Amino acid sequence: MRKKIVAGNWKMNLSREEALLLISGITSRIESKEKQVIFAPPFLYLYKIAKMCSNFNRIKVAAQNCSKEKEGAFTGEVSAKMIDSCNADYIIIGHSERREYFNESNMDLKEKVDRALENKLDVIFCCGESLNQRKNEVHFSWIRKQLSDSLFHLNAIDFSNIVIAYEPIWAIGTGVTASTNQAQEMHAFIRSCITEKHDTEVAEKTSILYGGSCNPSNSNELFAQEDIDGGLIGGASLNANDFLAIINSF
Ligand code: PEP
């Protein structure tokens, strides 16, 4: 059985007080025992939030990024080793905002994936196409390249620590969601790429999340699709009621 996951990517939002309130507002009301819930707060709150969540087996904590370097003179950077020492479980790697605003290439992301795994951290690896790429019908080849450049150097054992998040760029923070058909089609394609690279067993074990304007009114239909194993949620993860409703929607 694949892990069902709902992950909240807080991005650069919330003061420390707001962040702690949100966490207690969610953890005090969480009911689901079978889904994994992941919070991805800003680095500054990681340690505290990991501590607050440590009594909940099904709740994990993720960093939103890490340096591709191991350590050293890289002012302002945060290493995977530091993230591990704050008791986080995952690192989100390859979010489209990192790719676009910080020029992170597939090769940079490959190095980040390696840093995370070296430090025994799991990875939520984001991939997704722009609207133009979809219009020009190059979205499948684009996603295949993102996966193969950054992830397909891993053997099957290391690959078991990867969760994939398909996030069409045109749906992130726009209020436009991919249709269930578009999302399911791409998720099935991603799974077929993993089968080609490894085998069906590895592909069937890989959780693939959908991200892009997911909210309580569309999550149920999206998560009901065969190859959609949950969601990576941006905006709606900042509101306890919405995030809980999404968690409870499948
Ligand atoms: C995201 O940034 O990962 C995301 C899915 O954002 P939103 O849900 O706000 O579209």
pTM of the predicted structure, to 2 decimals: 0.97
Candidates 178, 153, 149, 176; CA nearest to 166 is 178
Q: Is residue 94 lining ligand 1, measured as CB closer than 6 Å?
A: no
Q: Is the CB of 214 within 6 Å of ligand 1?
A: yes
Give whole-number Cα distances, 195 to 83, 165, 174, 187, 207, in Å. 31, 17, 32, 12, 13
Contact of 193 with 164, CB cutoff 8 Å: no
* Helices and strands counted in the chain (H then E): 12, 8
Query: Which string of DSSP letters, residue by residue, matches 153-202?
Result: TS-HHHHTTEEEEE--GGGTTTS----HHHHHHHHHHHHHHHHHHS-HHH
What pLDDT score was predicted for residue 21?
Answer: 97
Cβ–ligand 1 contact at 64 (below 6 Å)? no
pLDDT of residue 82: 98
CB 178 within 8 A of CB 212: yes
Block mean pLDDT (10 aa), the chain, length 250:
96 98 95 90 98 95 98 98 98 98 98 98 98 96 98 98 97 90 98 98 98 96 98 98 96
Q: Is the CB of 9 within 6 Å of ligand 1? A: yes
Q: Decide if 153 contacts 110 (C-beta within 8 A).
A: yes
At 97 the pLDDT is 97
Q: Exactly one of 104, 167, 187, 198 is catalytic; which is it?
A: 167
Q: Which atom of ligand 1 is closest in space to residue 96's alpha carbon? A: 2
The pair phi, psi for residue 229, each rounded to 5°, is -105, 20
- pLDDT for 34 equals 87
Specify whether 97 is catalytic.
no
Beta strands at 122-127 and 59-63: parallel, antiparallel or unpaired: unpaired
Instruction: Tell whether ligand 1 has an atom less than 6 A from the beta carbon of residue 172.
Output: yes
Residue 9 half-sphere exposure, CB side, CA atoms within 13 Å?
29
Distance, CA 175 to ligand 1 centroid (Å)? Answer: 9
Dihedral (CA of 244, 53, 173, 124) sign: negative
Return the residue whose CA atom lies nearest to atom 8 of ligand 1: 234
Which residues have a Cβ under 8 Å from the Cβ of 207 and sit 6 or more positions away?
A: 2, 3, 4, 5, 163, 164, 229, 230
Q: Active-site residue 95, yes or no?
A: yes
Amino acid at 11: K
Catalytic entry in 95, 139, 187, 198: 95
Q: Which helix (H) or strand (E) holds 37?
A: strand 36-40
